[in-house]
Amino acid sequence: MIFNEAKNFINGAFKSGSSSKIHRVISPLDGKELTTFTESTSEDLDEIISFAQKAQKAWQKVTLKERAQVFYKYKQLLEKNSAELTEVIYLENGKVHGEAKAEIDKAIELTEFACSLPQFVNGENMEVSRGIYCASTRSPLGVVASIVPFNFPSMVPHWTIVNALALGNAVILKPSEAVPISSQYIAKLLKEAGLPDGLFNVINGTQSTVENICDHPDIKAITFVGSTKVAKIVYQRASHNLKQVLALGGAKNHIVLLPDAHPEMASSNIVASMSGCSGQRCMAASTLIAVGNCDTILNKLIGDAQKIKCGTTLGAVISKAAKERIEGYITEAEKQGAKIILDGRNTVVPGKENGFYVGPTIIDYATADMPVAREEVFGPVLSIIRVDTIEEALAIENANPYGNACSVFTQSGGLANYVTENASAGMCGVNIGVPVPREPFGFGGWNESRFGSGDITGKSSIGFFTKEKKTTTKWNPEAGTNWMS
Ligand code: NAD
């Protein structure tokens, strides 16, 4: 399947960006060109915003219950088109079909949460003094922007767009330049679901487009999801321009493995976590800290990882540069004295010789100071550090600058509590490799994995995408006066 040019979506219609810079979009599966897009200009952004502001003014007058109706229809459209949407993710991102389908399933769950927002956004009303009532209500912010990464072309946009829209905002989505196609389908289906024109918009581009978004005075809030390096730039630039910002960054997630863990459960969960989406997940297990003698479990884990088939149960990584970066980490660890137990370098998938594949890789006897064990690798690579005590394991986890996820594998409730209480991560798991909180809980890490406050999904997103108004009312003249009358 080759796609038409990926265009901007503005006021309900597709339109090319107006610079002269054309970008090629390459499929990681075989290195072939899938589509192109044209870099957008600041004038393109101005045009989108002028329509978006007009549409948002009308949209905020529609009640939340009525706005939610669009998302019931949208959910049905996601379900109906699931196979085609899955195929698009497979082609542009390179993950395997099951993982691509899981993204659509998650987009559906996120949309269900948007449909349920009327049950959560009910405000408060209280008699604060005799005959005097104070009520809180929530209003939309206006035009908001969502800047997203390559690794989840559909799920991560759905983290923000459905809630932001249902809560009465207009949204501008800036997709990753590596995977701009899924956003075209999101735009098409939201329109088909009955979302009025101008409320959902797509702007394609790279760094300059993000900078224009950060600087535009009429964008009230920005969510960013991507690497820590860019999260910091976006957070600083947009906050400096007095916008509300939530910027999620990269990750280095630790697994604390204790010798009493259930072998099958630990092995299957850890292998799925390190290899799922080719390790290109901000929740992927990346460094395993084995406490004491965990050899039986580790041998099982290595055996399970060996069964993974590149090109069948393991997808591609996003680009040639990503493949080279990941393989570089493995080579460097080898030179530094770590033992490569399973080596995914130089993997070639028959029939897909030009694809970008890295096989599952397990590195034993890594140390906490090695880049492979310390930095975000973003590939199907698991480093094992061996320690004697839980305190040593926690010291390594706590010292890492990131703080997205940490999971412990044990059958002891007390030890599990001890690890989750003391880990420096926003999302912790017990016997779960990918501890993603599901709605209505919110998604968000700590430390250098998140800049700004609150979570990006779930109930927390209500606070981010709305502003609260408090109204104090007195109707009864006999209520008299008091200190605040
Ligand atoms: P990235 O930071 O390179 O790109 C993210 C977005 O920023 C893209 O839309 C891109 O066009 C834009 N961008 C890139 N460089 C920029 C610059 N210099 N100035 C302004 N904008 C710029 O991230 P990526 O490679 O697309 O995605 C992978 C990263 O995203 C990983 O670090 C991963 O951990 C992270 N991620 C984090 C979460 C989370 O929830 N914390 C979720 C998914 C991915």
Contact yes or no for 169/140 (Cβ under 8 A):
yes
Is 282 annotated as catalytic? yes
In the prediction, which pLDDT does 215 show?
98
CB 260 within 8 Å of CB 238: no
Tell me if 89 CB under 6 Å of ligand 1.
no
277 lines ligand 1 (CB under 6 A): no
The DSSP bridge partners found for residue 222 are 145, 245
Mean pLDDT to the nearest integer, 159-181: 98
Distance 469 CA to ligand 1 centre (A): 34
pLDDT at res. 132: 87
CA of 231 to the centre of ligand 1 (A): 7
Q: Tokens for 345, please give them.
A: 């370098």
CA of 7 to the centre of ligand 1 (A): 20
Query: Quick check: 480 pLDDT over 80?
Result: no
pLDDT-derived band at 468, boundaries 50, 70, 90: very high
385 Cβ neighbours under 8 A, 6+ residues apart: 287, 288, 289, 290, 366, 367, 368, 373, 396
pLDDT, mean of residues 10-19: 98
Q: How far apart are CA 112 and CA 456, in angstroms?
A: 16
364-390 residue pLDDT tens: 999 999 999 999 999 999 999 999 999
pLDDT grade for 45, boundaries at 50, 70 and 90? very high
> Can you tell me which atom of ligand 1 is nearest the CA of 249?
41
pLDDT score for 1: 56
- The three-state secondary structure class of 259 is coil
Query: Ligand 1, atom 26: nearest CA belongs to which residue?
Result: 149
- For the ranges 36-50, 281-295, 462-476, the lowest mean pLDDT is seen at 462-476
Q: Is residue 479's pLDDT more than 80?
A: no
Q: In angstroms, what CA-CA distances link 386 with 181, 289, 291, 329, 404?
A: 43, 6, 6, 19, 22
Residue 123 has a pLDDT of 86
Residue 210 Cβ inside 6 Å of ligand 1? The answer reads yes
Cβ count near 32 (within 10 Å): 11
Radius of gyration (Cα) for the chain, nearest Å? Answer: 24
Residue with CA nearest ligand 1 atom 16? 207
Q: Are 289 and 254 in contact (CB under 8 A)?
A: yes
N- to C-terminal Cα distance for the chain? 68
Q: What is the DSSP string of 398-448?
A: HHSS--SEEEEE-S-HHHHHHHHHH---SEEEES-SS-PPPTTSPP---GG
Give me ligand 1 centre to Cα 128, in Å.
46
Nearest ligand 1 atom to the CA of 206 is 11
Averaged confidence pLDDT in the chain: 97
Q: Is 156 in the pocket of ligand 1 (CB under 6 A)?
A: yes
Look at residue 485 in the predicted model and tell me its pLDDT: 53
Determine the length of the chain.
485
Q: What pLDDT sits at residue 484?
A: 58
CA distance 431 to 262: 9
Q: Kindly report the protein residue whose alpha carbon is nearest to atom 9 of ligand 1.
A: 176
* pLDDT at res. 296: 97
Tokens at 447, concatenated: 């430390």
Task: Note the pLDDT of residue 482.
Answer: 61
Mutational test site, ligand 1, from 110, 154, 158, 176, max ligand atoms within 8 Å of CB: 176
Tell me, using a 6 A CB cutoff, whether residue 179 lines ligand 1.
no
Q: Token pair of 106, please?
A: 């998650």
Interval 325-374: pLDDT, tens? 999 999 999 999 999 999 999 999 999 999 999 999 999 999 999 999 99
Q: Which of 282, 310, 406, 428 is catalytic?
A: 282
Whether the pLDDT of residue 477 is over 80: the answer is no
Sign of CA dihedral 451, 190, 37, 352: positive
Are the CB atoms for 464 and 223 separated by under 8 Å?
Answer: yes
- Residue indicated by tokens 């992927």: 284
